[in-house]
Amino acid sequence: MLIGVPTEIKPNERRVGLTPDSVHALADAGHEVLVQRGAGEGTGFGDAEYKDAGARLTGVEEVWDAAELVVKVKEPIESEFGRFREDLTLFAYLHLAAARPLTEALLETRMRSIAYETVREGRALPLLAPMSEIAGRLAAQAAARYSMVTEGGPGILIGGAPGVASARVVVLGGGVVGTQAAQLALGLRAEVSVLDASMARVRELTQMFGTSARVLASNPRTVERELEEADVVIGSVLVPGARAPKLVRREHLARMKPGSLLIDVAIDQGGCFETSHPTGYDDPVFEVEGIRHYCVTNMPGAVPRTATTSLNNATLPYVQRLASGVDAALEASEGLAAGANTEGGLITSPGVAAAYEDLPSR
């Protein structure tokens, strides 16, 4: 199969769809890989490494126009919509439930799209997990950084000091993101609460953290009480493929400490705070009613070398299956088929279909 790897052009995005090692594995299996010149520079992978791995270096037009399968990291932006075509398969993070223009473009061109974030293995999301792990850790780092007065914060050291209380960090959602955020925040000596709506997960987290963190069953009143005491709130709730539920409403902000920080890791799926809107690393924080919001949509893009390598460790086996035949790969794997979001002008993902009841779906 002819596989294309374009340069990521979303602002502040430096990751790349395939590493040279992944290209080598695909080329060794008899596939041809087209890599846009300079695609790996932001990650630290030079064109020479890709050439040595067996890739053919080319321009952006050929990558999109000749490829049968395009492998990206982030969803295409509007300037790339004109490159869509019916006989092309796109494999990337898509987050379509929060991206109507992209969804409509995929439907209009009848292009098949497979989203990393909805591929399943049992109950697990194997292609979302690597970036969730990194995003969770980065969220805790952001909590520490933006609590400092030099970054517009209230001047709190997240781990406190002898005789001085640590910051209160509340994590909403105890999945992969929330667990990683809580672990790193605890490592920084913050006082941490983790809330989750699943009692089964609450029991798992209680066993995991013991007495080091407060693990609570999530309900509206408990969330409200925790918000009132929080210095930082990390929103990490996830409904695979669907829009994130709004756990923090605008009216809650008046009950929070002035200058406290909301970190919305669910922003790719529309955000779990009602007052969130997407931001980037060039201007990551904004304020609503005295409460600061950090809503960077591509958090792992700040550590592209680590993130790309971690992502490829998970995605390469799926790329290899798709490269041997997309139809056969989807038919053979229910979990991979769950990643299919659009095909033939129809939405094929239940979560995305629920977000756009007026658009055609299967």
User: How far are the Cα atoms of 213, 223, 253, 277, 298 from residue 290, in angstroms, in the given order?
Assistant: 27, 19, 8, 16, 25
Contact 158, 190 (CB under 8 A): yes
Contact 298, 5 (CB under 8 A): no
Tell me the residue type at 58: T
Asked whether residue 329 is assigned to any structural domain, the reply reads yes
Asked whether residue 361 is assigned to any structural domain, the reply reads no
Contact 349, 237 (CB under 8 A): no
Q: Are 180 and 316 members of one domain?
A: no
Given 263, 278, 301, which residue is the final one in a domain? 301
Q: Return the HEC string of the chain.
A: CEEEECCCCCCCCCCCCCCHHHHHHHHHCCCEEEEECCCCHHHCCCHHHHHHHCCEEECHHHHHHHCCEEECCCCCCHHHHHHCCCCCEEEECCCHHHCHHHHHHHHHHCCEEEEHHHCCECCECCCCHHHHHHHHHHHHHHHHHCCCHHHCCCCCCCCCECCECCCEEEEECCCHHHHHHHHHHHHCCCEEEEEECCHHHHHHHHHHHCCCCEEEECCHHHHHHHHHHCCEEEECCCCCCCCCCCCECHHHHCCCCCCCEEEEHHHHHCCCECCCCCECCCCCEEEECCEEEECECCHHHHCHHHHHHHHHHHHHHHHHHHHCCHHHHHHHCHHHHCCEEEECCEECCHHHHHHCCCCCEC
List, in sequence order, every residue forming a beta bridge with 248; answer none if it has no partner: 273
Asked whether residue 56 is assigned to any structural domain, the reply reads yes
Q: Are 145 and 113 members of one domain?
A: no
Q: Which two tokens stand for residue 220?
A: 């509206």
Q: Which domain holds residue 254?
A: 129-301
Clarify whether 277 is annotated catalytic: no
Q: Which two tokens stand for residue 56?
A: 């053919």
Asked whether residue 360 is assigned to any structural domain, the reply reads no
Clarify whether 95 is annotated catalytic: yes
Asked whether residue 324 is assigned to any structural domain, the reply reads yes
Q: Are 297 and 347 members of one domain?
A: no
Q: Are 160 and 270 members of one domain?
A: yes
Q: Are 231 and 174 members of one domain?
A: yes
Given 301, 317, 345, which residue is the final one in a domain? 301
Alpha-carbon dihedral sign for residues 240, 238, 352, 98: negative
**The pairing of beta strand 291-294 with beta strand 261-264:** parallel
Report which of 4, 37, 45, 34 is spatially closest to residue 307, judged by C-alpha positions: 45
Q: Are 272 and 347 members of one domain?
A: no
Contact 323, 26 (CB under 8 A): yes
Q: Which residues contact 208 (CB under 8 A, 6 or more apart)?
A: 179
Asked whether residue 114 is assigned to any structural domain, the reply reads yes
* Whole-number pLDDT of residue 262: 98
Active-site residue, from 196, 231, 264, 268: 268
For residue 354, which phi and psi values (nearest 5 degrees)? -65, -30
Q: Are 283 and 309 members of one domain?
A: no
* Whole-number pLDDT of residue 240: 75
Q: Are 257 and 330 members of one domain?
A: no
Q: Which residues contact 2 (CB under 8 A, 6 or more apart)?
A: 31, 32, 34, 66, 67, 68, 69
Instruction: Give the integer Cα–Cα distance in Å for 226 and 266.
Output: 19
Tell me the residue type at 261: L
The tally of domains found in the chain comes to 2
Q: Are 327 and 226 members of one domain?
A: no
pLDDT tens, per residue, the chain with 362 residues: 999 999 999 988 999 999 999 999 999 999 999 999 999 999 999 999 999 999 999 999 999 999 999 999 999 999 999 999 999 999 999 999 989 999 999 999 999 999 999 999 998 999 999 999 999 999 999 999 999 999 999 999 999 999 999 999 999 999 999 999 999 999 999 999 999 999 999 999 999 999 999 999 999 999 999 999 999 999 999 877 788 899 999 999 999 999 999 999 999 889 999 999 999 999 999 999 999 999 999 899 999 999 999 999 999 999 999 999 999 999 999 999 999 999 999 999 999 999 999 999 98
Q: Are 171 and 270 members of one domain?
A: yes
User: How far are the Cα atoms of 160, 202, 300, 355 from residue 182, in angstroms, in the given order?
Assistant: 16, 14, 17, 30
Asked whether residue 81 is assigned to any structural domain, the reply reads yes
Contact 244, 237 (CB under 8 A): yes
> What pLDDT digit, counting tens, does each position of 256-275 carry?
999 999 999 999 889 999 99
Active-site residue, from 95, 196, 231, 264: 95
Given 256, 283, 301, which residue is the final one in a domain? 301
> What is the domain-level CATH number for residue 213?
3.40.50.720
Asked whether residue 362 is assigned to any structural domain, the reply reads no
Q: Are 273 and 307 members of one domain?
A: no
Q: Are 48 and 11 members of one domain?
A: yes
